[in-house]
């Protein structure tokens, strides 16, 4: 989805037309915001099968040849395939309608029609596919290159050669190809990560992620800098073979975000599959435990399962705690400064210990 907005109006284009956008951009001062798309519906139409052929052998001095009509080719299937290369459903949502070609018709001299090419739609890993009509979960694209058949191409019709039998050596017709399957699917992306970072805006989540991984989310001292999930791969400090795990940074949570305040709670779906949550509260907080409780309450509004995940409580920005400061790290919490690096290794070790405890690592 693209949203264009200037001072007076907002234009939304779900399936946008480039010419339309360029026109508006050249006439007005506009800003473009390309949204992170993690949910969409698509319509699929697999290819019809080719028709079988009705034809007879023609040979010199043989007026009544045998039936030699070939079968029609199979219509193209449509597959979904998990891909590491894409991270949102934006491209899939942009196109929305997918159609596979029909199979070629059979021909005389027993020539079978060519089967149509299959269509493969790449989707990000972690995409869950639902039947839009029934709401039934069809599949979960979890691994790279996993091909899942979602709309079956029609079988080719049999030609009169294939239909000929002992009882009917000269069939008067051939079969038409079967229609391809038509489907409407809902795709929902829930990114795959092991650890989810939860905190108020400005808590230092993105700074931590960029310190411990190669991910480079935007960092700034204003709230809601992060507007979409970012994943970073952390190389394990404790793993004997340098194993790694994935950390997800999502937009900050504020009190009442389950009622739509701030960026809402829809991004919480991206930490739903994590094994451990890192709850981050900055050292500047007057009531760190109260702030953590607010965050967990918001998680609870999304799902009890999410709120019940193992949690590691972390006080961030500990470099700001002066020697004579009254700020104290609550019991059982860890402290760290993602800027100086103080305490970061300790946090990573604790996260890895918890991951090992959940059986993830």
Q: Considering the complex, what minimum distance in angstroms separates the CB of residue 338 from ligand GTP?
A: 4
First-to-last alpha carbon distance for the chain, in angstroms, is: 37
Does 223 engage in binding with ligand GTP (CB under 6 A)?
yes
Comparison of 206 and 236: residue with beta carbon closer to Mg ion = 206
Task: Find the part of the chain contacting ligand GTP (CB under 6 A) among 103-111, 171-179, 184-192, 333-341.
Answer: 333-341
Rule CB under 6 A: choose which of 5, 23, 31, 224 binds ligand GTP.
224
Distance of CA 68 to the CA centre of its chain: 49
Q: Which of residues 182-221 bind Mg ion (CB under 5 A)?
A: 206
Residue 57 CA to residue 41 CA, distance in Å, equals: 49
Q: Considering the complex, what minimum distance in angstroms separates the CB of residue 281 from ligand GTP?
A: 10
Task: Find the part of the chain contacting ligand GTP (CB under 6 A) among 32-40, 111-119, 240-248, 334-342.
Answer: 334-342
Rounded to the nearest 10°, the torsion over CA 307, 311, 317, 321 is 110
Comparison of 194 and 228: residue with beta carbon closer to Mg ion = 228
Choose among 7, 5, 189: nearest CA to 83. Answer: 189
Q: How many CB atoms lie within 10 A of CB 104?
A: 21
- String of b and e for 118-142 (b: at least 16 CB within 10 Å)? bbebbbbbbbbbbeeeeeeeebbbe
| Contact present, 31 and 4 (Cβ < 8 Å) | yes
Residue 221 CA to residue 312 CA, distance in Å, equals: 24
Q: Considering the complex, what minimum distance in angstroms separates the CB of residue 203 from ligand GTP?
A: 4
- Please give the structure tokens belonging to residue 14: 């779900």
Residue 317 touches which of ligand GTP, Mg ion, none (Cβ within 5-8 Å per kind): ligand GTP
Does 225 engage in binding with Mg ion (CB under 5 A)?
yes
Comparison of 98 and 208: residue with beta carbon closer to ligand GTP = 208
Helix (H, G, I), strand (E, B) or coil at 237: coil
Write down the H helix ranges in 85-224. 90-95, 160-163, 205-212
Rule CB under 5 A: choose which of 111, 127, 226, 274 binds Mg ion.
226
Residue 247 CA to residue 348 CA, distance in Å, equals: 11
Rule CB under 6 A: choose which of 338, 348, 351, 354 binds ligand GTP.
338
Residue 326 touches which of Mg ion, ligand GTP, none (Cβ within 5-8 Å per kind): none
Rule CB under 6 A: choose which of 141, 317, 334, 354 binds ligand GTP.
317
Task: Find the part of the chain contacting ligand GTP (CB under 6 A) among 33-41, 224-232, 264-272, 346-354.
Answer: 224-232
Binding mask 266-305 for ligand GTP (x = CB under 6 A): ----------------------------------------
- Please give the structure tokens belonging to residue 235: 């190389």
Does 213 engage in binding with ligand GTP (CB under 6 A)?
no
Positions in the binding site for Mg ion (CB under 5 A): 206, 225-226
Positions in the binding site for ligand GTP (CB under 6 A): 199, 201-207, 219-221, 223-226, 251-252, 316-317, 319-320, 337-339
């Amino acid at each position: 989805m693209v949203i264009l907005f200037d001072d007076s109006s907002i234009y939304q284009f779900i399936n946008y037309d480039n010419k339309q956008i360029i026109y508006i951009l050249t006439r007005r001062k506009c800003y473009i915001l390309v949204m992170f798309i993690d949910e969409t519906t698509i319509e699929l139409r697999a290819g019809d099968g080719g028709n079988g052929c009705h034809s007879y052998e023609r040979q010199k001095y043989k007026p009544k040849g045998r039936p030699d009509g070939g079968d029609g080719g199979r219509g193209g299937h449509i597959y979904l395939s998990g891909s590491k290369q894409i991270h949102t459903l934006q491209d899939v949502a942009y196109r929305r309608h997918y159609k596979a070609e029909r199979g070629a018709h059979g021909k005389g001299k027993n020539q079978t029609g060519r089967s149509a090419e299959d269509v493969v739609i790449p989707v990000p890993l972690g995409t869950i596919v639902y039947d839009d009509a029934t709401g039934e979960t069809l599949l979960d694209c979890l691994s790279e290159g996993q091909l899942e058949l979602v709309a079956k191409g029609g079988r080719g019709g049999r030609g009169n050669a294939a239909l000929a039998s002992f009882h009917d050596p000269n069939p008067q017709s051939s079969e038409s190809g079967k229609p391809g399957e038509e489907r409407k699917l809902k795709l929902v992306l829930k990114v795959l990560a092991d650890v989810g970072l939860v905190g108020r805006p400005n808590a230092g989540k993105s700074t931590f992620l960029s310190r411990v991984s190669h991910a480079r989310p935007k960092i700034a001292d204003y709230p809601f800098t992060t507007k979409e999930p970012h994943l970073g791969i952390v190389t394990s400090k404790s793993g004997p073979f340098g194993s790694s795990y994935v950390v997800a940074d999502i937009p900050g949570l504020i009190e009442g975000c389950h009622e739509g305040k701030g960026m809402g709670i829809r991004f919480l779906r991206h930490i739903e599959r994590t094994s451990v949550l890192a709850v981050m509260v900055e050292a500047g907080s007057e009531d760190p435990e109260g702030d953590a409780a607010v965050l967990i309450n918001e998680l609870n509004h999304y799902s009890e399962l999410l709120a019940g995940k193992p949690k590691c409580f972390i006080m961030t920005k500990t470099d700001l705690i002066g020697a004579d400061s009254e700020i104290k790290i609550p019991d059982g919490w860890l402290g760290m400064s993602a800027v100086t690096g103080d305490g970061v290794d300790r946090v990573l070790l604790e996260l890895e210990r918890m991951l090992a405890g959940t059986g993830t690592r």
